A and B are shown apart, each in its own frame.
Chain A
Amino acid sequence: MSNIVFDEDLRDGIQEISNIAVGVAADNIARSFSTFVRIPVPAVHLLESADIMMALNAVSSESRVTAVTQPFYGMGVSGEALLIFTDASMAELSQLMGYELVGDDRQAIELALEMASLLNGSCIQGICNQLDISVLLKHPTLLGQHTSLNDIIANAEFPWEQTLAIELNYSFEGYAITCDLIILLHEDSLPVFFKQVSFLLD
């Protein structure tokens, strides 16, 4: 591990950086869909692999969700963004995004992937820009539909020990949409990531 310790200062720093990125993302969404986005306060956790299921369940214990992941690679940093919508949100999501509601699986996938592209892109790029890390986003992929997070991710024996999780709960004014974005960093990325954050803080 790095010689940089994950302490309160570092956590606050990451939270602040995420805040700024989220602000930009929210602004992007607001401009795209002409709705006001409530800017979430990012929660930053260093998670042990044993605790990740607990953490994800705390984010969404809904039994029917649509989940999308999107890998990203920066210089010395890599991870995945996980975006989760409850099935109950889908009808309003299509409204928000200006689509006529068809209500089939195909449309739900379309909505989730488009939203992922916009939200993840803005957030991850926003965070990495501030840290002077040039980043490349891969295509988002559908992780599961109409299923619980538990069913999607349970049984996975993660080979890493810890991960940094930045958790954002989005809501949109006038819409009942539950949407959670969790940015997970690979543990090998933590030294570079922490170093860049400390640079910025100093």
Chain B
Amino acid sequence: MGTPNFQDLHWLLDIIQSTDIGIVVLDEGFNIQIYNRFMQVHSGIAPEQAIGANIFDLFPYLQGEWFKRRVASVFDLGIPVHTTWEQRDNVFDFPLQLPIHFEIKKMFQNTTFVPLRSASDVVEKVGLIVYDVTDNAINSRKLEHTKAELLILSRTDRLTGLYNRGYWEERLNEEFKRNRRSDSDVSLVMFDIDHFKDINDQYGHQVGDDVIRLVAQLMRDNSREIDIYGRYGGEEFVVVLPETGLQGAVIYSERLRQKIAESVVYNDGNSVQFTVSLGIAVLNAETIDPSDWIVNADKALYQSKENGRNQTHIFGVGPV
């Protein structure tokens, strides 16, 4: 490439002014040498104010270790240094004031610090190339947010907000494994709303749904933060009680049973009352695997049903 003539230089300067990328050139004393239009319009600082000024006078917030060490790396090592919005939202804190996209309040930037060499190959200046990556940053944050929401949705039962069966079983498996490594007690309680089909038939599915929601609420109120509760099937509920042996599980079950028996769902002048039957299975060495644990709790629950409902049975022990 030969020496560009005057006309070529003019075009190059025009492009530097017109491009939608910020271009700043600094000398070793952090004085601004070039400050293109992108920088001007976003900072509101005119070129005559910027050129020759010290960058820290115009942007006092750059007066920190972070910015200086990047510039120093470029001078010392002679290699480009990149910073991205993922590590720091931006280098230049430019507000964005948009009438329609009002929710975007500031510009996110990727910035490259490049060495500018003299004819004798010494790094004389540092060039800052500032890319506006606001769209990128916003989209990527939205995506993260959506992923988090999807994760919650995929784990939750719609009607009750409790864990759904699939996720609850995952958590049960974890508790089972954890228990194999430790010697703390853990219990499983499974229960079922008595004569739920009759409630549906007599009062309609709307009332049935209300009953299920109320039971879920009472279960939530009755549980601790560490308890893992979920809706197992239609009118069947489950809860894993970590750090809880037989005695604790009985207290939990009986208290929940009484609370549910005392509660009422009102509908069209009718007051609907209902009860639940519960089964407890404390995890012990004879429990082969997680599904065996569930089967045990289910067997105890079945005994409560057989025995007249509105009661609790303990697997391997009998009625409470």
Question: Which residues of A are interface residues toward B (Cβ below 8 A)?
Answer: 28, 31-32, 70, 106, 109-110, 113-114, 116-118, 121-122, 125, 137-142
Contact = CB atoms under 8 A, between A and B. Distances in A.
B144 to A, nearest CB: 12
A32 B73 contact: yes
6 contacts: A32-B73, A109-B87, A110-B87, A116-B82, A139-B82, A140-B84
B81 A117 contact: yes
Contacts of B112: 139
A28 B73 CA distance: 9
Contacts of A118: 73, 77, 79, 81
Interface residues of B, number: 15
B83 A117 contact: yes
B13 to A, nearest CB: 22
- Report which residue of A106, A109, A114 has the largest number of chain B beta carbons within 10 angstroms of its beta carbon: A114
Contact of B86 (A70, A125, A141): A141
A113 B80 contact: no
Nearest to B72: A32
B76 A32 contact: yes
Contacts of B101: none
B79 A125 contact: yes
A139 B83 CA distance: 7
Contacts of A122: 77, 79
A126 to B, nearest CB: 9
Given A137-B82, A139-B110, A113 B76 contact: no
B88 interface: yes
Contacts of B73: 32, 118
B77 A32 contact: yes
B131 to A, nearest CB: 8
The 5 residue pairs across chains A and B that have the minimum distance between CB atoms: A110-B87, A121-B79, A117-B82, A139-B110, A28-B77
Given A31-B76, A31-B77, A32-B73, A109 B83 contact: no
A113 B86 contact: yes
B79 A141 contact: no
Contacts of B81: 117-118, 121
A139 B84 contact: yes
B79 A28 contact: yes
